Structure 1
Amino acid sequence: MAKIRHNNFLDTVVSVMSNAKEAGALHLYAEGKEFNGRYIQVRGKKLFHFGTTGYLGLEQDSRLKEAAIDAISRYGTQFPLSKSYISHPLYAELESLVGDIYQHPIIITKNSTLGHIAVIPSIVNDGDGVILDHQVHWSVQNAVNPLKLRSVPVEMIRHSNLQMLEDKIKKLQSKCNKIWYMVDGIYSMYGDYAPIRELMKLAEKYTQLHIYFDDVHGMSWKGRNGSGYVMSVLNEVPENVILFGTLSKTFGASGAVMVCRDIKTHKKIRNFGGPLTFSAQLEPSSVGAAIASAKIHLSDEIYSMQTELQDRISYFNACLKETTLPLIAINDSPVFYIGTGMPETGYNLVNRLIREGFYVNTGIFPAVPVKNTGLRITISRHNQKQEIKALVHALEYHFLKSLEDTQTNLERVNFAFGRDTGKLKTKSDKTDRLSLEIKRSINEVDKQLWNKTVGTNSLLDWEGLSFIERVFKQNELPEHNYEFYYFMIKDADDTPLLLTFFTYGLWKEDMLAPTSVSVRMEKERIDDPYLHTSSCLSMGSFVTEGAHLYLERSGNNWKEALALLIGEVEILEKQLKPQTLIFRDFTTDDNELNDYLHNKGFVKVAMPESAVYDEFSWKDETEYMQTLSSRSRKHFKKEIAPFIPLVKIEVSPQVAEETLDIFYTLYLNVKQNNPSFNTFDYPKKLMQEMNVHKQWEFICLQVKQADHWKMAGVMFCYINGNGVYVPNLIGMDYAYTKEYQVYRQLLYQTILRAKALNMNKIDFGLTAGFEKRKVGARVLDKCAYIQTRDNFALEALDWLRQD
């Protein structure tokens, strides 16, 4: 199969968030004339607020409010000067107080995003390297990206995977001076902690290792003087650590703070740290509020506040423990994540809670994988125990109702988050209206039924799939072996509603990435052939293209049939544990199917455009040309017709073994010269089976060289029993492609051959739509829908794309 095109990430995010907004779970507006932190008003309803990041409630403290008002009265709404020239009068006091909190040199920044942009390019020198935890905050990743322009190597590891981190350190240690690992102290979605002690032990083992902590969600509610979670573990900042905290969120004001031990580094950043140099400084109101908060942090009162919050956190944990709600990370942080799995379940539950009188946040893609949608619940000092308990009761009741509303269950939610309880059924729930059969070979499937449903295009007829099964079994290399699963769903009258098949095998993860990424990956695979490869459960197979799913949508129960399929595939996932699940080869304008699959936890990605040819009304070359556009006729006269006399075309159903060797070499030429087709090389067995199969033939193109004809190109063509001609693979000798226009010749000869065989359609397959359109083919946009266990592969390869 051709490579799935790199999808526009922004388009995908916009699509997901638009669905969440339409479902009433995102982009809401708070209402009312005042706000006290305990309540928030949405859609005219007063709700208990369980979505804040102001965990200590300091943003509502009267001392901070009065200090902000006083600062505005004395200094105005802003102080419009760069700090490089002059800081307004309150800044010196704030810097002194925050320095006392950390007992280390500090720098105040406008916010953490600008702070990272200022600090990271300053501390990472040419000759250093960077490793990112793939869940480290976007603001850190964004600040790292420009380092690539300086040829700083940037690697990414799975979340908190210390073995993978050590492997990356070993990879970089011989070519980097310092190796910076960038990580959150506490992660904002699941509320889990960085393994700080283990990281510091690793830094003792590898002296090049330096740690960059973004601890903005750990600030104030933890640590001495509210200095944060990281400081609560480290007590002081080591020489090889840079720490970021915040003056917003729990601190109650605005701004961020960088902490380091090294005076030289501190001076370097302060004197010339990107946006710190000439950007606007914090408004007087923010500085005034921050000063008031810092004084609280430096008093014993901060510990009373921390204790009050911790008491509420412990109470919420205790209440949750009495339920079966899927709490994804269990610890003592104020951030809780209740998994719902599918987006539609999360949207349903959020709206139910709003109607019940509670506001919580929705965790959605790209912050989490689509199938890891859930509720992000935060606890603050504003929350009282009676409403915490009421929230848990509402969650417990409405969680089950949401599962029922969206036809899922707790076991499926646990499975989506890798919480294997061992309870996922071996068979999904059936209905009285539908029946399902699963077969492991096309030989177990009724040939007539298959051929009139799925088998109407590509290699998807019964004979074609029987051929593929023979080729991709019992091979030496793992990538040449597939497992096959055929699904058939019928209604109570035995009428077919859904037929499809899936294959399970090893894929290159950069199939989802641009050509530039595949080129780089192939260089690295010289030493590690299976780098960035993983198992995939895919509708269809590498070799097949086209409509793999037959879905009878004229009735009312197609969604029920599709839901049954998804449930059965999920059970298969538990058994096989693929990294990626793909539903593929759909039209891009099917909005109803798009919304349905998104709500079931799939992300839409673009595929290469496909092409079909079905205009066979012409009788000769002249009439054929009249079917083309005026531009394509010019192309034919210039790029195809003059070369026809220079080549010899033969159609062979079978060739000698030595010719088959030439064919395989020509195929590899195309494969290796087109990294956009970045699958594993097919085994030679594929050509050998073609050579003895009655429905395969070879269109051979030879060019005259001195006193002999030389093979310069071959089209590997399948004759589908439904009157479809399928040029499935191509091979070329690139020494002759331009001189004889080999590719364009083979496209045209394919049309002539299909006409001679009285075919009604040619499935030209994916990619090269521009060239196929020139010979009269219709180009169709295609898409796929994917689920992944996590976002690591997509994000790691996206970093290579940006390199």
Structure 2
Amino acid sequence: MMTAYAPSHLLPLVERRIGKTARAGLMMQTADDTEYFGRQVQIGGQVLLNFGGCSYLGLEQRPELNDAAVRAIRRYGTQFSYSRAYLQSALYLQLESALEAMTGGFPLVAPSTTLAHMAALPVLVQPEDAVLVDVFTHASVKMATCLLDGMPVATVPHFDIDRLDQKLARLACKHRRVWLLLDGLYSMYGDFAPVSDLAALMEKYPALHLYVDDAHSTSWFGKHGRGWILEQFSDRRRVIVALSLNKAFAAGGGAIVFPSAEMRTSVRLCGGPMLFSGPVPPPMLGAAVASADLHLRSDFSDLQTQLTDRIDLVLSLARQLDIRFVAEDRSPMFFVPCGELEAMFHFAQGLRSRGIYTCPGGFPAVPKGQEGIRFTVSINNTEMDIRHLMESIAIERKALNDRARETPSKRLKDPPSARAAAYARAR
């Protein structure tokens, strides 16, 4: 049996390792009840520079979004308590119309990206189809594959295009369609899907269809913030993309962008969560409409440029300070490998002592024994903040290497060359 993260027999291991990370004070924490503006976060009385959030453009404090949320509450109340199968708020139509202008596709709003996957995949994938899932695809997509009763579902190595080609060659002659499930931007390592390789495979195999969770590149990348995949693929007839209305979009819910109105209608009418899950509350719908309107403004790209300037600063400082990331794509997410779990604890706690909040990256989000520190940047971070972060990482990396030299069996290793080559293809 598969869960969203791992086979069920591994759940005790997952519980032990996440529990250990929580006891180390690095997970399952609660922010102090203080005002929050994005640049800093307060935990247990300690004010930390925030390099762990996913609001890459800092839109959650924009007055346009806040005022729209308040107006929606005053007009509709805190909830519009109907199943969307019976009656929907007028804000849904406004939002989907704006998302259509943003993406150039046929969007369908869902209560969350996770529920969007659970609504779409059981409708899209038919009994005569086969499914391949990139091993690092987001857990929410893997969870949805558990609903594909009796259908062949197999994982493929991350960005191993040759292996993927071999699997497609075997499956494409046996199945009407082969669905490849993947992320547009991978949330742990910050690496983009290799669009040119995927496009070549789609040309080679007409049966190949892509289903992409592009939650982490929504808003900050592409024209009107439509994300990596929608920006890169000009021919989307066999491409379906899920976007997040949380994260950089700074509202609530998710959306799936279909290549046709007919496909959207099928999921709207038959996708389980579209019929029985609760609706997006009016304040979040109002904020989402305001956010979409902001995305469509001619000056929205200025916000995107502010973020890419900060990304470029991180990459430049990494080269100067000899800091190695697992991937060096031009995205707002970075992963510093540490090795074993305890080494990651030392690294993260060292950064906390220097006033920096980052996220631990451990099993099952990454392979066991390849734990590390994941950090993000946003336009809330100043140049001084980023310089302090990178200098602190360099200091903690040296301390980690010094400890590793004292225990040769636990010496920190760089990512395997095969994976590095795969990331190079993705870039």
Task: Return the TM-score normalized by structure 1.
Answer: 0.50
Q: What is the rounded CA distance, in whole Å, between the counterparts of 1:225 and 1:180 in structure 2?
A: 27
Aligned partner of residue 321 in structure 1, secondary structure: helix
Written as runs of structure 1 = structure 2, the 5 A alignment for 1:186-265 is 186-234=185-233, 236=234, 238-265=236-263
Q: What is the rounded CA distance, in whole Å, between the counterparts of 2:382 and 2:147 in structure 1?
A: 45
Q: Match of 1:620?
A: none
Q: Which AA in structure 1 matches 2:157?
A: R
Q: Match of 1:126?
A: 127
When residues 408 and 293 of structure 1 are mapped into structure 2, their CA distance, relative to the original with a 3 A threshold, is farther
- Counterpart of 1:392 (choices 390, 394, 418) is 390
Structure ranking higher on relative contact order (CA contacts 8 Å, 6+ apart)? 2
Q: Match of 1:87?
A: 88
Written as runs of structure 1 = structure 2, the 5 A alignment for 1:460-539 is none
Give me the identity figure in percent. 34
Is the contact made by 1:326 and 1:414 (CA closer than 8 Å) also made in structure 2?
no
Aligned partner of residue 105 in structure 2, secondary structure: coil
Is the contact made by 1:24 and 1:347 (CA closer than 8 Å) also made in structure 2?
no
Q: Match of 1:171?
A: 170
Q: CA RMSD in A?
A: 1.7
* Structure 1 residue 271 displacement after superposition: 1.5
CA offset digits 1:278-322 (Å, max 9, x no partner): 221100011011011001100122200000000010011111111
- Counterpart of 2:279 (choices 256, 276, 281) is 281
Is the contact made by 2:210 and 2:240 (CA closer than 8 Å) also made in structure 1?
yes
* Structure 1 residue 94 displacement after superposition: 0.9
Q: Give the unaligned 5+ runs of structure 1.
A: 1-5, 421-803
* Structure 1 residue 262 displacement after superposition: 2.1
CA offset digits 1:739-768 (Å, max 9, x no partner): xxxxxxxxxxxxxxxxxxxxxxxxxxxxxx
Is the contact made by 2:118 and 2:147 (CA closer than 8 Å) also made in structure 1?
no
> Are 1:28 and 2:29 counterparts?
yes
* Structure 1 residue 246 displacement after superposition: 1.0
> Are 1:117 and 2:125 counterparts?
no
- Counterpart of 2:353 (choices 352, 355, 372) is 355
When residues 219 and 112 of structure 1 are mapped into structure 2, their CA distance, relative to the original with a 3 A threshold, is same
Q: Match of 1:713?
A: none
* Structure 1 residue 237 displacement after superposition: 5.3
Aligned residues: 411
* Structure 1 residue 405 displacement after superposition: 4.5
Q: Match of 1:326?
A: 324
When residues 7 and 93 of structure 1 are mapped into structure 2, their CA distance, relative to the original with a 3 A threshold, is closer
Q: What is the rounded CA distance, in whole Å, between the counterparts of 1:411 and 1:304 in structure 2?
A: 45
**Which structure's residues are more often strand, by fraction?**
1
Comparing 304-313 with 394-403, greater Cα deviation is found at 394-403
Q: Match of 1:41?
A: 42
Written as runs of structure 1 = structure 2, the 5 A alignment for 1:767-782 is none
Q: What is the rounded CA distance, in whole Å, between the counterparts of 2:413 and 2:320 in structure 1?
A: 17
* Structure 1 residue 411 displacement after superposition: 9.7
Q: What is the rounded CA distance, in whole Å, between the counterparts of 2:376 and 2:42 in structure 1?
A: 17
Is the contact made by 2:359 and 2:373 (CA closer than 8 Å) also made in structure 1?
yes
Aligned partner of residue 30 in structure 1, secondary structure: coil
Q: What is the rounded CA distance, in whole Å, between the counterparts of 1:111 and 1:363 in structure 2?
A: 23
Aligned partner of residue 40 in structure 1, secondary structure: strand
Written as runs of structure 1 = structure 2, the 5 A alignment for 1:427-446 is none
Q: What is the rounded CA distance, in whole Å, between the counterparts of 2:408 and 2:106 in structure 1?
A: 52
Is the contact made by 2:401 and 2:411 (CA closer than 8 Å) also made in structure 1?
no
Is the contact made by 1:109 and 1:115 (CA closer than 8 Å) also made in structure 2?
yes
Aligned partner of residue 31 in structure 1, secondary structure: coil
* Structure 1 residue 83 displacement after superposition: 1.1
Q: What is the rounded CA distance, in whole Å, between the counterparts of 1:293 and 1:201 in structure 2?
A: 35
> Are 1:296 and 2:322 counterparts?
no
Q: Match of 1:161?
A: 160
Aligned partner of residue 147 in structure 2, secondary structure: helix
* Structure 1 residue 9 displacement after superposition: 1.8
Written as runs of structure 1 = structure 2, the 5 A alignment for 1:401-800 is 401-405=399-403, 407=406, 412-415=411-414, 417-418=415-416
Aligned partner of residue 38 in structure 2, secondary structure: coil
Is the contact made by 2:188 and 2:365 (CA closer than 8 Å) also made in structure 1?
yes
CA offset digits 1:246-276 (Å, max 9, x no partner): 1110000011111111222111111121110
Q: What is the rounded CA distance, in whole Å, between the counterparts of 1:302 and 1:36 in structure 2?
A: 20
Q: What is the rounded CA distance, in whole Å, between the counterparts of 1:277 and 1:156 in structure 2?
A: 30
Is the contact made by 1:237 and 1:260 (CA closer than 8 Å) also made in structure 2?
no
- Whichever of the two has the greater Rg, that structure is 1
Q: Which AA in structure 2 matches 1:196?
A: V
Q: Match of 1:306?
A: 304
Q: Match of 1:152?
A: 151
* Structure 1 residue 324 displacement after superposition: 2.5
Q: Match of 1:799?
A: none
Q: What is the rounded CA distance, in whole Å, between the counterparts of 2:75 and 2:41 in structure 1?
A: 31
* Structure 1 residue 105 displacement after superposition: 1.0
Aligned partner of residue 413 in structure 1, secondary structure: coil
Q: What is the rounded CA distance, in whole Å, between the counterparts of 1:237 and 1:161 in structure 2?
A: 23
Aligned partner of residue 389 in structure 1, secondary structure: helix
Aligned partner of residue 121 in structure 1, secondary structure: helix
Q: What is the rounded CA distance, in whole Å, between the counterparts of 1:285 and 1:85 in structure 2?
A: 20
Is the contact made by 1:109 and 1:276 (CA closer than 8 Å) also made in structure 2?
yes
Q: What is the rounded CA distance, in whole Å, between the counterparts of 2:248 and 2:408 in structure 1?
A: 36
> Are 1:10 and 2:41 counterparts?
no
Is the contact made by 1:403 and 1:410 (CA closer than 8 Å) also made in structure 2?
no
Q: What is the rounded CA distance, in whole Å, between the counterparts of 2:144 and 2:339 in structure 1?
A: 31
Is the contact made by 2:112 and 2:252 (CA closer than 8 Å) also made in structure 1?
yes
CA offset digits 1:565-623 (Å, max 9, x no partner): xxxxxxxxxxxxxxxxxxxxxxxxxxxxxxxxxxxxxxxxxxxxxxxxxxxxxxxxxxx
Q: Match of 1:266?
A: 264
Q: What is the rounded CA distance, in whole Å, between the counterparts of 2:60 and 2:286 in structure 1?
A: 13
CA offset digits 1:710-766 (Å, max 9, x no partner): xxxxxxxxxxxxxxxxxxxxxxxxxxxxxxxxxxxxxxxxxxxxxxxxxxxxxxxxx
Q: Match of 1:72?
A: 73
